[in-house]
Each structure stands twice: as C-alpha cells, then as structure tokens.
Amino acid sequence: MKALVARLDSFGDVLLAGPAVRAVAARARHTTLLCGPRGAPAARMLPGVDEVIVWDAPWVGLDPPAVDRGDVGRLVERVARRAPDVAVVLTSFHQSPLPTALLLRMAGAGRLAADCEDYPGSLLDVRHRRAPHRHEVLAALDVAAAAGFPLPEGDDGRLAVRRPPAPDALVGGAGYVVVHPGAAVPARRWGRERCAAAVRLLVRAGYRVVVTGGRGERGLTAAVAAGGALDLGGRTGPAELAGVLSRAAAVVVGNTGPAHLAAAVGTPVVSLFAPVVPAERWAPYGVPHVLLGDERAPCASSRARVCPVAGHPCLSGVSPEDVLAAVEKLTGRTPGLDPCLERTP
C-alpha cells in the first residue's frame, strides 16, 4: 500500500505530525509527505518518510502565494503519478482539510481521511471529529488511527527526528543551555533585551550558554549572546540545530519550531509561551518543560502574528529571574520540584 500524509504549514507543525506519520509508515510500503516550503526541512528529518513533495498552498502560511491554475495542475499530476492508495490530511484545529482533500481527490488518491467539522461531501471517506482540547500530536494520531493506522506496538508516540549530526565542532561538550530568541512572528518573541538579560544571568549563575538563530537573525543572536554566550546565529541548518539541541541540558525558546525540535531530540524546554495559540494544544510534547507567560492575557487564542495588546503583557511579565529559576528546575539545581511532563497515552 502506498500512503500520502499532508501537513502543509510550518516547521513545528510538521514535527508535531511525526508520530502520526510513523503510524502510517508502519503499515505502508511507501509513505509520501506533502508539505509546504517552511515545513520541508522538518519533513526530511522525520523517520518513516520515503519521499517529500513540497508545495506552497495558497491557503496556508505567513505569505501565501496567489492561486495559479498551472501550479495547482502540476501538483495534481505529481500526486497522481504516485497513485496513493490512502491519504491522511493533517491540519490544526482552526484549519479546514477540504482544499487539500479536493486536490488529492482530483489526483485520484484512494481513501481520504481528515479531521473535519464542515460537511465534506464526497471529498472524505473518513470524516473524523477532533476531541476537545486535544494536543496537536494526539489529534494527528487520532486521525491516523481512524484511517486504519494506529500507533504500532513499541512506538512511544513521542516526537522524533532522524539522528542529527554530532555538534562537537560547534559547541564542544554537552550540558550547556540553549537560548533561541527568535520566532517566525513578533507576537511570539520575548524581546532582544530580555533575552540578553537572561543570558547574562545564566552565565553569572555558572551555566554555559549557546545562542541559536537562523541566517536572518545574526544581529539578534549577536546582541543576545554579548553577555558571555557562544553565538551560533546563522551557523546551523535544521539538522545541525537538532544536534546542538540534543546535547543541551535545557532550551529557552518561544512557542515556535525549535521548541518542538528540542522535544524531538528529548531535551527539556523552558517555553516562553505567548498564548496566541493555546498551550494545551501546542506546548512542548513528551519532555519535561516549564511554561512561562500569562495564558489568560487578552491575546489568548487570537492567533495574532503581531501582539494586539499594548505592552505585550503575556510575555512582558516574565523576568530573566523567572527564566533562571525555570532552567534550574529543569536541570536539577532546584531540588524537590517536578517540571511538567506531557505523557502519551
């Protein structure tokens, strides 16, 4: 049987789909992952994926392209050549699977399954209803199971990536704290000055600190690392970043893709969580973590990209001392405190 799994949005979203992808791959002889350009690097890291098709959907993403008939036709033809016997469309709780399902149906995909609140007509063979308040990882596993792909015995359902390259040449020995100050949208960023202050405090407390970021964040990481940290801004691709995170004692990061990458390599997370999406669905999964931020702030569940409230109150109340205390908790310097651990059923 040939299977296709679709998850068209971001890097972190694709990582969260990983356990469901493994469930499908365990029963398929070939598994294709259809993803968007931002999710493609994560797709290539997922165990169980045999092939990645990248397509920039006009209904997904931060800057979606215009609808192009030729582009849509080429995708349909490309999927048709793979002739998947079954397709599982994974979406977030606020997204509709029906545009993707329509294209897959046009491509001749055999059996289609998805979470769907809207009437799907003939687009879906399995119309699953998402359980309330379900974490994204578990919601995806539920859809896969409804389509006939339960998590196989021996798979713990946690996030995972293919073994990353060793980071020794970049960071030396293990045991450092990673601070990742960036995020794809401003509403999820704690702020340069606060991150820099937290780095200085961590260094004074005796931690070895590594600051990470993408090529476009070199100015940010340089400023944040100036207080005595190692600046890796622009020096790691996704696989190298996974390696760096895998050797860390803890990672300080917003609710953005690298938080889920840290979880995928088993590293505890201090999550500077802006509640523009609910933590119950998007918190770091399957690893010890501490959530910092006001989950009752006015921006809660707004899905805002730019903070809609003056002063960014959901994160501005988090202090560098709060971050230090959370790191100490996760690294065992504060006895008797048990960080939160998401457990799979």
pLDDT digits (tens, 9 = 90+) for 128-153: 999 999 999 999 999 999 999 999 99
Place of tokens 């501490």: 290
Helical spans, DSSP H, in 147-237 = 168-171, 192-204, 218-225
Helix or strand (DSSP H, E) at 288: strand 288-292
CA distance 40 to 4: 15
Q: What is the pLDDT of residue 334?
A: 55
Asked if 175 and 323 sit in the same domain, the reply is yes
Asked if 334 and 205 sit in the same domain, the reply is yes
What does pLDDT average to over the chain?
A: 93
Number of structural domains (the chain) is 2
* pLDDT band at 345; cut points 50, 70, 90: very low
CA distance 322 to 294: 13
Asked if 207 and 67 sit in the same domain, the reply is no
Asked whether residue 244 carries a pLDDT value surpassing 90, the answer given is yes
Q: What is the dihedral of CA 131, 102, 106, 45, to 10 degrees?
A: -60
| 97 located within any domain | yes
Asked if 75 and 194 sit in the same domain, the reply is no
Domain range holding 6? 2-146
Residues 283-298 have pLDDT tens digits of 999 999 999 998 888 8
Asked if 56 and 202 sit in the same domain, the reply is no
Asked if 211 and 304 sit in the same domain, the reply is yes
Q: What is the pLDDT of residue 165?
A: 95
Asked if 218 and 253 sit in the same domain, the reply is yes
* pLDDT band at 340; cut points 50, 70, 90: low
Asked if 127 and 228 sit in the same domain, the reply is no
CATH number of the domain encompassing residue 277: 3.40.50.2000
Asked if 101 and 214 sit in the same domain, the reply is no
Asked whether residue 299 carries a pLDDT value surpassing 70, the answer given is yes
Asked whether residue 342 carries a pLDDT value surpassing 60, the answer given is no
Asked whether residue 335 carries a pLDDT value surpassing 50, the answer given is no
| 221 located within any domain | yes
Q: What is the pLDDT of residue 338?
A: 46
Asked if 199 and 62 sit in the same domain, the reply is no
- pLDDT mean over 243-268: 98
Amino acid at 17: A
| 154 located within any domain | no
- pLDDT mean over 165-177: 95
